[in-house]
Structure 1
Amino acid sequence: MSQGAAGNPTVAMIQAAFTHHQLPWRYINLEVAPADLPAAVHGALAMGFRGFNLSMPHKVAVIPLLAGLGESAKLIGAVNCVVRRDGAFVGENTDGKGFLTSLQTVIDPRGTNVVLFGAGGAARAIAIELALAGIRHLTIVNRAMDRGRGLVDALRAGTPTEVTFVPWSGNYVVPSDTQVLINATSIGLYAPEARVPVAVESLRPEMVVADVVFNPPNTRFLDEAAARGCTTLDGLGMLVNQGVIGVSYWTGVTPDAAVMRRALEQALGLAR
């Protein structure tokens, strides 16, 4: 359920999974005004919906309307995926889980030192999931000090991970012991030339560098990291894997991620 959801490529991606696995399901856009959210949630439950996704501005407002929250959704304080369990709706957050699944294809994050750019919704979801996955130390780098320190406080209160906040000004110099560097801001989204302010010379070949930006998938940030010999991870993986997790929650079937990625690339006009 979302406002202004028309043209959402997620529809094509998830419907492709249903078709591929011969599931007689439909994933549709429903535009719901904030004032109508309670009625929409109650109606979905009454009509037998197995679940749904939410976009802003509903991710927080939906929480009082649900029977419970998953562990990470509770810590993140936002829901993007609702699942029917035992006749009631439960809120989950699959954004961070999707990123973690993508990251695990190139590195086991347990015990690693991670630097995360940003402290907004995506960054918060990723930070929580990384902490729950057992990273050793997380450095939050953000321009807005209040938001950055707020995320640090949430992580310290809800997880055992060591966390540090660093105000972002100028080109950030990545510490040499960093194993994973993540851009969780919107810098570069639909803007191929946009530059993440990082000291490129501080990037080392042994680092994994990831970006949540999915269009274009090859951002300037990732291109600069690849030129320094880093292993790179684009934002399409996060988007696909959060969809995989949602479909699995709803149907009990683990869908083919490759099928979903092809459908997503086609919907975004990225297919070759």
Structure 2
Amino acid sequence: MGFLSTLTGSFSTPADDNPTVAMMEAAYAAAGLDARYVNVDVSSADLSDAILGAKAMGWVGFNCSMPHKVAVIDHLDGLGESAELIGAVNCVVARDGDLIGENTDGRGFVEALRELRHPAGTHIVVLGAGGAGRAIAVESALAGAARITVVNRNTARGESLAALVSERTGADADFVPWTSTYAVPDSADVVVNATSVGLGDGDAQVDVDLETLRPELLVADVIPNPPRTAYLRAAAQREAQTLDGLGMLVAQGAVAIELWHGVSPDREVMRARLSEVLGLDSAI
């Protein structure tokens, strides 16, 4: 049996109440995988021992959440390309006796994006330069996006991300200070909210000029709950194509399962179970 685990720094909850655990367990059951996904509470002081234990017990891999995404790097044998560029790890994979750090945050976005529009040659605007924005910008560039525009309130962080993308990937990148309501440029193909605005608040609106959310755009949001944020509803009213955070979360979990088991799980099963636990309509 292969065991998988989350290494969290906060608290543990039963599988029936933890959305990610429930989603992953449903995926395993549907795929007939002899594996379990369990949530383990690990403090920062015990992180090294926990990773040694996972390796000693032969786990095929594990996820790690904040505050361990950066600290875990010092305890691994190597990093995947995007994890090295992003500077953070949320998925660890056992390969030939080594533990290799990957980052599926941005890959989840790209996987979900590909179902609607291929990123190759596109101009993607990323709103926010925090952990999610950083992962999305880097992974989109690696997936072939031609241009990444980083929009952020913190100038140093935004400029740093734009420079990283320009210097380390094949995409051009620029930074736009988010000092007022942002107008999405006509050149943009995709605009993604990578901030926390809208999390748990269906009325919170991202500070963008809604009139610039035109029909030709794909408008995405990383917020999984509620999945139909005010930002996405406004985009849909203007006939823009939309991508919600629920799809990204499902894609992120599916990518992890593929890395650990080499199996492509049923994403519809995963989304339905995730929606059920979150108390949402699975058809959303």
**8 Å contact kept, 2:106–2:139:** yes
Residue type of the alignment partner of 2:224: F
1:265 and 2:271 matched: no
Compute the displacement of 1:146 (Å). 1.1
Residue type of the alignment partner of 1:167: P
Task: Encode CA deviations 1:203-259: one digit per residue, 9 max, x unaligned.
Answer: 211110000001000000000011111000100111001100111111121111111
**Runs (5+) with no aligned partner, structure 1:** none
Task: Decide which of 171, 178, 186 is 2:188's aligned counterpart.
Answer: 178
Structure-2 separation of matches of 1:203 and 1:191? 21
Structure-1 separation of matches of 2:213 and 2:248? 22
Structure-1 separation of matches of 2:239 and 2:33? 42
Runs of 4+ in structure 1 deviating by more than 3 angstroms, as ranges, are: none
- The aligned residue for residue 21 of structure 1 is 31
Residue type of the alignment partner of 2:9: Q
**8 Å contact kept, 2:166–2:173:** yes
Structure-1 separation of matches of 2:46 and 2:197? 33
Compute the displacement of 1:4 (Å). 2.0
Compute the displacement of 1:56 (Å). 0.4
Compute the displacement of 1:265 (Å). 0.7
Under a length normalisation based on structure 1, what TM-score does the superposition of the two structures give?
Answer: 0.98
Compute the displacement of 1:5 (Å). 4.0
1:74 and 2:65 matched: no
Q: Which moved more, 1:51-60 or 1:22-31?
A: 22-31
Structure-2 separation of matches of 1:59 and 1:79? 5
Residue type of the alignment partner of 2:84: K
Residue type of the alignment partner of 1:224: A
Compute the displacement of 1:157 (Å). 2.2
Q: Which moved more, 1:147-156 or 1:188-197?
A: 147-156
Note the 1:1-272 alignment, pairs <5 A: 1-7=7-13, 8-271=18-281
Compute the displacement of 1:188 (Å). 0.2
Structure-2 separation of matches of 1:23 and 1:107? 31
Structure-1 separation of matches of 2:227 and 2:22? 18
**8 Å contact kept, 2:198–2:223:** yes
Identity %: 53
Compute the displacement of 1:169 (Å). 1.8
Q: Which moved more, 1:146-155 or 1:53-62?
A: 146-155
CA-atom RMSD in angstroms: 1.0
Compute the displacement of 1:23 (Å). 1.4
Residue type of the alignment partner of 1:164: D
Residue type of the alignment partner of 1:145: T
Task: Encode CA deviations 1:66-99: one digit per residue, 9 max, x unaligned.
Answer: 1111110010000000000001110000111110
Structure-2 separation of matches of 1:267 and 1:6? 16
Compute the displacement of 1:264 (Å). 0.7
Structure-2 separation of matches of 1:137 and 1:253? 32
Residue type of the alignment partner of 2:10: G
Compute the displacement of 1:151 (Å). 0.8
Under a length normalisation based on structure 2, what TM-score does the superposition of the two structures give?
Answer: 0.94
**8 Å contact kept, 2:148–2:162:** no
Residue type of the alignment partner of 2:8: S
Secondary structure at 2:55 match in 1: helix
How many residue pairs are counted as aligned between the two chains? 272
Structure-1 separation of matches of 2:182 and 2:27? 40
Secondary structure at 1:58 match in 2: coil
Higher strand proportion (structure 1 or 2)? 2
Q: Which moved more, 1:209-218 or 1:169-178?
A: 169-178
